[in-house]
Structure 1
Amino acid sequence: MLSPFPPLDLIYLDQWIMILAYYAGLVIGVFAFVHALSQKAEAYTAAERLTKPAWLGITGGGTFALLLFSLNSPGAMFWLAGLVAVLVYLVDVRPRLIEVQRGPRW
């Protein structure tokens, strides 16, 4: 016989999604900061992007916002801003840095 009540796990599905998003964002932020830290300063200028200290500040600040706030807190806007900053580095700057450091391809 089927129960008219959903399983308890489904009741808190939205909270599990928020927790997963929080930790995924935090891992992405730490990865972006460590990647920015490990690149040479000359690569940033060769890639025609901001300087290394600027990107360290952006990714570090973004990671700090991802650590400090969560999606279900009043500071969710800061969490999203931190995630956007980190994703801009990963999507725009990181591929250019890899391309510049790899050199010309034939």
Structure 2
Amino acid sequence: MNYLSGAPVVFLVEGWIILGISVVLLGVKAFAFVTSLLPSTEEYEAAGKLAKIAWVLILALGLLAQVVLIGFGPIHPIQLGFTVAALVFLADVRPAIAGLRRG
């Protein structure tokens, strides 16, 4: 079968796109996990956020799930939940802690 004539090319392109999205999400989760390790426990408490150990555990499990379930695509329910958690950390918790350092 010729993969350059017809529907199989669509599936090949789709597979590369899904792989690309999965790799980007892996990078986002790895970045969130590493940056969750840097602030002290007191900084999390001063910002009024969930405890450091909770965020580190959530983000570590998300990173692990991304690696283990990479073949299932980025819309697997477990991956979606952990992606939301990583994005919440990066959009809410990290800036709140950074604001304490500046102020």
**TM-score of the superposition, structure 2-length normalised?**
0.83
Distance 2:29 2:14 in 1: 22
Aligned letter for 1:40? S
Aligned letter for 1:45? E
Distance 1:100 1:54 in 2: 20
Aligned to 1:58: 58
Q: Does structure 2 retain, via aligned residues, the 8 Å contact 1:43–1:100? A: yes
Aligned to 2:28: 28
Task: Count the aligned residue pairs.
Answer: 99
Distance 2:87 2:71 in 1: 16
**TM-score of the superposition, structure 1-length normalised?**
0.81
Distance 2:41 2:56 in 1: 11
Which has the larger helix fraction? 2
Structure 1 runs (4+) greater than 4 angstroms displaced: 8-11
CA shift digits 1:45-69 (9 cap, x unpaired): 1100011101101111111111111
RMSD value over aligned CA atoms? 2.4
Aligned to 1:87: 87
Unaligned runs of 5+ in 1: none
Unaligned runs of 5+ in 2: none
- Radius of gyration: which is bigger? 1
Distance 2:68 2:77 in 1: 12
% identical equivalent positions? 32
